[in-house]
Structure 1
Amino acid sequence: MATQARADGEGNDTERGYGKLESTPLVGERRDVLAGAREPDSPAIDLALSGTVYFDIVLTGLTAPPASGTEVPAEGMGSCPGGVANLAVAASRLGLRTAVSAAFGEDVYGDFSWETLEQQERVDLSASRRVGDWHSPFTVSLAYRGDRSLVTHEHPSPVPPSEMARELPQARAAFVSLCAGEEIPEWARAQASNGARVFADVGWDESQTWCDSVLRQLEHCHAFTPNAIEAMSYTRTGSPASALARLADHVPVAVVTDGPRGAMAIDQVTGESAEVDGLVMETIDTTGAGDVFGAGFIVGTLAGWPLERRLRFANLAAALSVQHTGGSLSAPGWADIAAWWVHTHSGHGQHDRRLSREYAFLSELVPMPWLPTEQRRASATIGLRH
């Protein structure tokens, strides 16, 4: 498990000789953005998730993926919990009380993932289980040229995910990943019937049939956040804007993300529509950036922010995440956001002045008192001895 870093910076990656591609993001004290909305009878959990936690090994700095029979060097390496852990960690670091239902093998990968989520990232695992005689799902991510390729190995969990998910505590929001030919999970419908808002995304359709059953599932959802390719494919449209308009016929809040080009959304609950530019930052690893965007958007929605602010905040969180290695452990915390805002706000260039105007709402949130009290190392820490 990743170790703690001292506030004076001793023991950071630079001092240990790790390269730039294995840099350690800041952490800072937790900030409860929903503190003013909490009532004694409100749910104790803000966000509930169910899915697969993978043990991820991420290799960065590749000039190209290896061809058959060849070997290529990787400049950086990271190990971290992946899969549903990506969004869970991102949400927790941004202040949401997060609960996950997942199976963990009783192996060293499961030990690492469980301890990282429960002890370091403060994710509620009361609805999760350790499973003997079953190895944890495993993914290798190869990051190169601003994108990544994945190699995954897993066996179905002996404990049905639906059985574990029924034990999730009631939450303010639930997150699901939609699948063609399936229905919204029973646990998510139960959460919704008790007042939770269901946020959804969708994975890549390997068959590329883009079955419209996915759109029918949106009747149970509050918000849908696909990327531009997914949105256009499922709606059979030729532009992100056309896809967004079509999606708005199916779900109260429709969002289409387009990477560094930004995001657009329609919120029929508030009557808002918005389109914002993306933030272009040095990219080391894009793994989990979509999950980080989703976490930022959920935070802003639960906090009651205007739509444009939600999109800008989610864009910023996702952009900050690609500067570090690993899907979950690259997610920004409030200290990362504070550091970016202070740097941007103090800049004198035209670009910084524009960003200062667009992100002026951050002055209400940061800078706040914080210390880098926890290390979120996205380097090869499993089994590290000191």
Structure 2
Amino acid sequence: MTTEHPTPRIICLGLSALDITWQVDTLPHGGGKTRANDLHEGGGGMAANAAAAAAKLGASVQFWGRAGEDSAGREMKAQLTALGVDVSRFRLFAGARSSVSGIVVDARGERMIVNFRGADLPADPTWLPLDALAGTDAVLADPRWPEGALALFGAAHERGIPTVLDGDVADAAVFDMLLPHCDHAVFSEPGLAGYAADASRVDDQLRFARSRGCRLAAVTLGEHGVRWADDDGLHALPAFAVEAVDTTGAGDVFHGAFAFALGAGWPVRRAFQFSAAVAALKCTRPGGRAGVPDFATAMSLVDSIKE
């Protein structure tokens, strides 16, 4: 059953990076020289990619974040603006250095990433306009600026706004700080395994994450779908079978689509189905943000599911 096109209001907070991507036949091993077939430069970063994805799907999106007042920072801001994202709360700090990633993608769509996370970016979140949350339908944050994420989640919780944490790889102390203030913690597979290191089974890892305070803990498992734990127990959805061209940004896109769906007021299972469809379709196209489908295309894949 096709869903009417919603237009939720979303805030995404966290990392913005400049991605330089090389396309090669096979990923390099060890030293030496590898010839690239193509080169692409574009914006990246977990929360920034999520913001771009939500905007492409039709949301009204603000990106709140930090970067250096340098060429990379200015380019990131310009690219988000071109995608329709409000960057009025994306601050460029003099004397700081922006995050830049080098990505190598092979012919199968697999990738390796070298990331410089930036330097001298102030942690203090007191400049964030938390009063501007009025009218927001959902917020998302990644763990790269935990002080900002904590401030955003706290303010959103006070207003009854759903919160989403992008649980990529981070120090356990960061997750311990954020999970008690987060409704939906959606981990990457290595992010969850690293956090719940004493548990070998995914379901036990999810139970551990929930025990740290979030209402729902989920993990994206690539071609094996998504699993989550909540008050009703453990749940799973399969992945959509697609021919992957480029998996860059798939997890970020999944999170942006999930925030979109929650902001639209959809139930969790439907939100995960939609997010999985958006991420799968992205993988069939080159580029991170460039591969994000529009809302109608994503819903066509969701509606193809035989319940």
Which TM-score bucket, shorter chain as reference? 0.7 to 0.9
User: Is 1:112 equivalent to 2:69 in the alignment?
Assistant: no
Query: Quick one: which of 198, 205, 219 aligns to 2:180?
Result: 219
Query: Quick one: which of 203, 224, 227 aligns to 2:168?
Result: 203
Query: Quick one: which of 221, 227, 230 aligns to 1:264?
Result: 227
Which is greater in Rg?
A: 1
Q: TM-score if structure 2 supplies the norm length? A: 0.82
1:91 corresponds to which residue? 54
2:125 corresponds to which residue? 162
The answer to whether the 8 A contact 1:60-1:284 is kept is: no
1:224 CA drift (Å): 0.6
Q: TM-score if structure 1 supplies the norm length? A: 0.67
User: Is 1:302 equivalent to 2:302 in the alignment?
Assistant: no
1:285 corresponds to which residue? 246
User: Is 1:125 equivalent to 2:87 in the alignment?
Assistant: yes
2:36 corresponds to which residue? 74
Gap change, CA 1:134 and 1:334, over 3 Å in 2: same
Distance of 2:14 and 2:145 partners within structure 1: 16
Q: What do the CA deviations read for 1:198-255 (whole angstroms, capped 9, x no partner)? A: 21122324xxxx6366245311111110123432442332222232333333321221
Distance of 1:32 and 1:157 partners within structure 2: 41
1:318 CA drift (Å): 0.8
Distance of 1:219 and 1:133 partners within structure 2: 34
Distance of 1:164 and 1:52 partners within structure 2: 17
Opposite residue 306 of structure 2, the aligned amino acid is R
Opposite residue 204 of structure 1, the aligned amino acid is V
Query: Quick one: which of 234, 242, 255 aligns to 2:204?
Result: 242
Distance of 1:262 and 1:106 partners within structure 2: 39
Gap change, CA 1:167 and 1:251, over 3 Å in 2: closer
User: Is 1:173 equivalent to 2:138 in the alignment?
Assistant: yes
Unaligned runs of 5+ in 1: 1-30, 36-45, 346-354, 359-386
Distance of 1:184 and 1:131 partners within structure 2: 18
Gap change, CA 1:336 and 1:57, over 3 Å in 2: farther
Query: Quick one: which of 293, 296, 299 aligns to 1:332?
Result: 293
1:179 CA drift (Å): 6.6
1:102 corresponds to which residue? 65
Distance of 2:144 and 2:298 partners within structure 1: 33
The answer to whether the 8 A contact 1:128-1:164 is kept is: no
1:312 CA drift (Å): 1.5
Distance of 2:146 and 2:287 partners within structure 1: 31
Opposite residue 204 of structure 2, the aligned amino acid is S
Distance of 2:104 and 2:281 partners within structure 1: 19
Query: Quick one: which of 296, 311, 316 aligns to 2:272?
Result: 311
Query: Quick one: which of 186, 190, 212 aligns to 2:151?
Result: 186
Opposite residue 166 of structure 2, the aligned amino acid is D
The answer to whether the 8 A contact 1:212-1:234 is kept is: no
1:62 corresponds to which residue? 25
1:82 CA drift (Å): 0.8
The answer to whether the 8 A contact 2:254-2:279 is kept is: yes
Opposite residue 35 of structure 2, the aligned amino acid is P
1:158 CA drift (Å): 5.3
2:306 corresponds to which residue? 357
1:5 corresponds to which residue? none
Unaligned runs of 5+ in 2: none
2:132 is paired with a residue whose SS is: coil
Opposite residue 123 of structure 1, the aligned amino acid is V
1:12 corresponds to which residue? none
2:247 is paired with a residue whose SS is: coil
Number of aligned residue pairs: give it.
Answer: 298
Gap change, CA 1:167 and 1:285, over 3 Å in 2: same
1:123 CA drift (Å): 0.8
Distance of 2:88 and 2:144 partners within structure 1: 26
1:284 CA drift (Å): 2.5
Query: Quick one: which of 91, 94, 99 aligns to 1:137?
Result: 99
What is the RMSD computed on CA atoms of the aligned residues? 3.1
Q: What do the CA deviations read for 1:268-320 (whole angstroms, capped 9, x no partner)? A: 3xx47531111232222222111111122222222232333222111111111
Gap change, CA 1:169 and 1:330, over 3 Å in 2: farther
